[in-house]
Amino acid sequence: MQSINSNEEETLRVRKLEITDKSKGFIELLQQLTICDSVSDNDFQERFQELSAYGDNHVICVIEDDSSRKIIATGSVFIEKKFIRNCGKVGHIEDVVVDSSARGKQLGKKIVGFLMDHACSMGCYKVILDCSVENRAFYEKCGFKEKEVKMVKYFI
Ligand SMILES: CC(C)(COP(=O)(O)OP(=O)(O)OC[C@H]1O[C@@H](n2cnc3c(N)ncnc32)[C@H](O)[C@@H]1OP(=O)(O)O)[C@@H](O)C(=O)NCCC(=O)NCCS
């Protein structure tokens, strides 16, 4: 396991996604997670603006490697407003990925920590996510525990 030196610790900070991150490999990073075709600049701009309108209720965060100017880690959280639990809120963590060259340096944990802190600061009573069996241990290290089953129905 590689450790991060104090210099990297300073530069590898988590921040919110910026519109210029498309040119820093943000989409290519998502392609390491799942099927993600290339996105045109116009489509990116449109989606970025749509998501920005949700403000703190939808946050995509990233870590940029200051030396390569590349986005090397990302994740998102969506805040769902409910009627149950006294009109409570639930955070949904999605699309967590660390560049294959930067794994094992605690960056995934840093991203998930940022998303959990955000959900907590928004008043969520819990955060939830789906993951593969292979990633169960990673999320346990982030403080999650396994609960119930996951169901899905795809439309396409
Ligand atoms: C899963 C993923 C985000 C982990 O990111 P990472 O930066 O390599 O993980 P970290 O270095 O922050 O690991 C944090 C801890 O979890 C452990 N861990 C990470 N991945 C693990 C795995 N697959 N199995 C067991 N433990 C794991 C680490 O050993 C570390 O333990 P420690 O705190 O005791 O040292 C990364 O491997 C990845 O992007 N995978 C491909 C995309 C993906 O599957 N995303 C998840 C979608 S649900």
Ligand 1 pocket member 97 (CB < 6 A): yes
Tell me, in angstroms, the distance from the centre of ligand 1 to residue 97's CA: 9
Tell me, in angstroms, the distance from the centre of ligand 1 to residue 31's CA: 17
Residue 2 confidence (pLDDT)? 47
CB 118 within 8 A of CB 124: no
Ligand 1 pocket member 137 (CB < 6 A): yes
The atom of ligand 1 lying closest to the CA of 33 is 42
Measure Cα distances from 34 to 6, 46, 89 in Å: 32, 21, 27
Residue 11 confidence (pLDDT)? 72
Tell me, in angstroms, the distance from the centre of ligand 1 to residue 9's CA: 18
Residue 7 confidence (pLDDT)? 63
Look at ligand 1, atom 17, and give the residue with the nearest C-alpha.
138
Residue 10 confidence (pLDDT)? 62
* Residue numbers of the chain with a pLDDT score lower than 70: 1-10
Residue 6 confidence (pLDDT)? 55
- Contacts of residue 59, defined as CB under 8 A and 6 or more positions apart, other chains included, come to 16, 76, 77, 115, 118
Going from the N-terminus, what domains does the chain have, and what CATH number goes with each? 6-141 (3.40.630.30)
Secondary structure of 123-142 as H, E, C letters: CCCEEECCCCHHHHHHHHHC
Residue 37 confidence (pLDDT)? 87
Tell me, in angstroms, the distance from the centre of ligand 1 to residue 19's CA: 27
Residue 56 confidence (pLDDT)? 98
Residue 3 confidence (pLDDT)? 46
